[in-house]
Chains A and B, each alone.
Chain A
Amino acid sequence: TQLLEQSPQFLSIQEGENLTVYCNSSSVFSSLQWYRQEPGEGPVLLVTVVTGGEVKKLKRLTFQFGDARKDSSLHITAAQTGDTGLYLCAGADRDDKIIFGKGTRLHILP
C-alpha cells in the first residue's frame, strides 16, 4: 500500500517565523498536490507539482517536489495568523486513486 507520511503532525509557531513541513513516501508519485483545509471546510488546492526537483512559489509559500518524486516539502516564510490550518499532501497511487497524508496542523500565534 502506498502511503504518504506528513511531518510534523502539529506545529505551533509565532507570527513572523519561518517553517517547513514535509510529505514523504517510499513510492514514486506522478504528481503531488498540496491542500489547505480550515475547520468546517473542504480542502482547497494550493499547488500541484509534477516534475522531479520542481519548485513552485505561491506568495510566501514555496513547494518543492523531490528529485525522485517520492517526497515534497512546503516552506512558509514569515508566517501569518491567516496561514493557520491543516495542510494536506495528496498523490495518485498505482491504481490512479488519490491518497492523502494525515496532514500537518499548523497554528500561527499572534
Chain B
Amino acid sequence: ETGVTQSPTHLIKTRGQQVTLRCSSQSGHNTVSWYQQALGQGPQFIFQYYREEENGRGNFPPRFSGLQFPNYSSELNVNALELDDSALYLCASSLDGGLAKNIQYFGAGTRLSVL
C-alpha cells in the first residue's frame, strides 16, 4: 500500500467526451505527477503539480489539464477524448526538495477505454 488512491479504477467513454480522474496523495506529500501508460509501454509524464501550481509538463496537448487542491488531492481532466487516449492513467505523489522529489509513490491507476 502506497497511500495513493485513484478513482475510478475503470472508465469507458466515447470519442469526443470529457473525463475527470481523481487522485488522493500520500499524507504529507505536496507534489503530484500524472502519467499515461499505454499497453506495453513505460509511463509517459503528463504534468506535475506543486502547491496547486503546474510545475512542468510533458508532450501532451492542452486538452489534458489538471488541478491540485489545498489538501494536495488532484484531478486530471481530458477533453475531446480520442481513441489513442485509451491507457492506464497513473498518479504519483512525492515530497519536494532534494532526492525525495524523485521518489514517487504510485496509485493503482485508472484504466480508461475510449470507444
A interface residue numbers (CB < 8 A to B): 6, 30-31, 33, 35, 40-45, 48, 50, 88, 90-92, 95-103, 105
B49 within 8 A of A: no
Contacts of B101 in A (CB 8 A): 92, 96
B interface residue numbers (CB < 8 A to A): 2, 4, 33, 35, 40-45, 48, 56, 58, 90, 92, 99, 101-109, 111
Cβ-defined contact, A42 with B103, below 8 A: no
Among A90, A98, A99, the one with the most B-chain Cβ atoms within 10 Å of its Cβ is A98
**Could you name 11 residue pairs across A and B whose Cβ atoms are closer than 8 Å?**
A33-B104, A42-B92, A42-B106, A42-B109, A43-B106, A92-B102, A96-B101, A97-B45, A98-B33, A100-B35, A102-B40
Contacts of B56 in A (CB 8 A): 95-97
Contacts of A43 in B (CB 8 A): 43, 90, 106
Please report the C-alpha to C-alpha distance between residue A45 and residue B90 in the assembled complex, in whole angstroms. 14
Cβ-defined contact, A42 with B102, below 8 A: no
Contacts of A44 in B (CB 8 A): 2, 106
In the complex formed, the residue of B with least CB distance to A99 is B45
Q: A42-B90, A44-B2, A88-B43 are in contact. Are A98 and B108 (CB under 8 A)?
A: no
Contacts of B109 in A (CB 8 A): 40-42
Q: A97-B58, A98-B33, A103-B42 are in contact. Are A42 and B99 (CB under 8 A)?
A: no
In the complex formed, the residue of A with least CB distance to B105 is A45
